[in-house]
Amino acid sequence: MTVNDFSFTSGFWNIWITVLTVGNILACWWLIRWTAKPRKDEAAAGDVTGHSWDEGTLAEYNNPLPRWWLWLFYGTMIFAAGYLVLYPGLGTWRGTLNYTDQNAYDKEMQVAQEKYGPLFAKYASTPIAELAKDPAALKVGQRLFANYCASCHGSDAGGGAGFPNLGDKDWLYGGEPETIKLSILDGRNGVMPAWGQVIGDKGVDEVAAYVMSLSGRDSDATKAAAGKVHFDTYCVACHGADGTGNPALGAPNLTDGSWLYGGSPGVIRQTITAGRNGHMPAHRDFLGEDKAHLLATYIYSLSN
């Protein structure tokens, strides 16, 4: 449960958490008070307790804890009580400060916007293709890329299996400046349907052979010819009659040497058999227009 979500399956859990938390603090206080009281069967403070080792050369004395150490324990309990009054921690109690992680995040973002917003805004009116010639703007865009994109596309933007290489000229949805920016803002969802049950294993092998032939790779000519029949029936709607793809749908060009999930025969067959589902998350609400403009500028510069 986060501090934004105070819902419980029943009221019992709210009471249980509150009782458990408060009870533990009170139990610690009681334990310290109880152990601090002298008992009839123990030695007086400063006297030997009767426990000794090494033939009596080492003896245990009844020395109480230093007062500062004892007060340190009390201080932690006072701090805990104060914290639980101010902040969430007792079931559905939000604290007198009404703290939530979303409120804290919004405040931090507001401070950051006031400080850095003007920096991003001064670049927003410059077209991406022109801004890509500005070294200062590219440095800012590179930092944004390292923070928000490198985990998927790699620090060098070279991509990986299922994550496009952003440094080449091959674009699923188009490499125009505004198209790149739109991909960042609204994200993309790519769907390759599974055809294994439709055309069977034999058909998958034949289509794979034909797809490989489209990019000039060696393949079985007989299988490729049979695969073209399946391709013309099921695949041209997205990839086109010549296999060069359709940026409007995000359908890749099958005639070049760029493969999003890998171009080995086995991977191609797997793609045809089971399909693929790619997701590029939207960053509009997170980054905003100005940051996305700079980020798109950096990405555009990588292939231009």
What confidence tier does 2 reach under pLDDT thresholds 50, 70, 90? Answer: very low
> Helices 11-36 & 67-86, crossing angle to 10 degrees?
160
- Compute the average pLDDT of residues 168-173: 92
What mean pLDDT, rounded, does the chain reach?
90
- CB neighbour class for 127 (10 Å; exposed up to 12, middle 13-18, buried from 19): exposed
pLDDT on residue 3: 45
pLDDT at 1 over 50: no
Backbone angles phi, psi at 191, to 5 degrees: -130, 120
Backbone angles phi, psi at 43, to 5 degrees: -70, 155
- pLDDT at res. 203: 97
Given this model, what pLDDT does residue 33 score?
86
**What are the residue ranges spanned by the domains of the chain?**
11-98, 103-187+282-302, 190-280
In single-letter form, the type of residue at position 295 comes to L
- Placement of tokens 């950051």 in the chain: 112
Q: What is the dihedral of CA 142, 148, 151, 154, to 10 degrees?
A: -20
Q: Does domain 103-187+282-302 have CATH number 1.10.760.10?
A: yes
Confidence bin at 44 (pLDDT 50/70/90):
low
Residue 42 pLDDT? 65
Checking if the pLDDT of 49 tops 90, the result is: no
Query: Fold identical between 103-187+282-302 and 190-280?
Result: yes
pLDDT in tens, 56-82: 678 887 777 788 988 999 999 999 999
Burial class (CB in 10 A: 0-12, 13-18, 19+), 176: middle
Summarize pLDDT for 93-136 with one digit per residue, the tens. 889 998 888 888 889 989 988 988 898 999 999 999 999 999 99
Mean pLDDT of the region 161-174: 93
- Fold of the domain spanning 190-280: Cytochrome Bc1 Complex; Chain D, domain 2 (1.10.760)
Please say if the pLDDT value at position 188 is more than 90. Answer: yes
